[in-house]
Amino acid sequence: MDERLKTNLNLWNAMVPVHVDSKGYRVDKFRSGENHLFPIEREEVGDVRGKSLLHLQCHFGMDTMSWARLGANVTGLDFSEKAIEAACALSAELKIPARFLCSNIYDAPNVLSEKFDVVFTSYGALCWLPDLKKWGAVAAHFVKPGGIFYIAEFHPMTQVMANGGGVAHAGEAKKLELEYSYFSTAMREFPPGPDYSDHSVTLEHGSHEWMYTTAGVVSALLDAGLQIEMLHEHPVCCFQMFPFMVRIEGTRYWRIEGDPIPLTLSIKARKPL
């Protein structure tokens, strides 16, 4: 494995127990029956009853098992062995049928041979990947002819702001200020710091992260032979990415007053028959 990805793997293995215990991940509510998915992805993916679904970069599987609760036959894949262990334990505890596999996303075709009706990924997946073109090829590889690939992800505009380095390093920004070029896809290296879900925990490992553009994501999917059916930009985010964001009453979403920039990007693409 690439040494940069090994560093990230050490970080994610360390984050798993923190996230399982953190309030941000709402594991207790999930145990009580809450569906962890947000309305954007549930509405845009649509009915999954009886469909096979592969969740790439699934972390410890709550989104994966949320799709299972909606009737899908699910498989989750993640490169963190600690995440897969936690996912399997939670699946067994709650008696939610799900299969979980440990693999670097780029090596996934070597450990999984099936094709799926739905291939899914979401929120905070792309910044950990150095090669979007190869990512798109892997995603498309697993889609059945006629099936769909779907992603809901933090909008690339959120990466360019002076908020201390993006979603994992929120800092104490007071307003939106540009720091990086939108067109820079260079790797950014971050030192050890607080966990993004539980700021009281300081992690011992740094990270390597990559910026991406909307065009880069779309091009990776098109180059892999998928047909874009839908591209949406949303003024809401699934967590308080910036300190000055406000909660939308009655929802789990956050927004910036005035909606100055898109915060979430979603794409649905289909593999031709």
Residue carrying the six token digits 């990924």: 121
67 within 8 A of 96, measured Cβ to Cβ: no
The pLDDT of residue 173: 67
pTM (two decimals): 0.94
Pick 1 or 238 by higher pLDDT: 238
pLDDT of residue 199: 85
Best CA proximity match to 161, nearest among 111, 211, 195: 211
Instruction: Tell me the average pLDDT across 217-242.
Output: 96
Q: Has residue 171 got a pLDDT over 60?
A: no
Whole-number CA gyration radius for the chain? 18
Look at the domain 3-158+213-239+252-270 and name its fold.
Rossmann fold (3.40.50)
If phi > 0 it is left, if psi is from -120 to 50 it is alpha, else beta; for residue 48 that is alpha
Which pLDDT score, from 0 to 100, does residue 163 have? 65
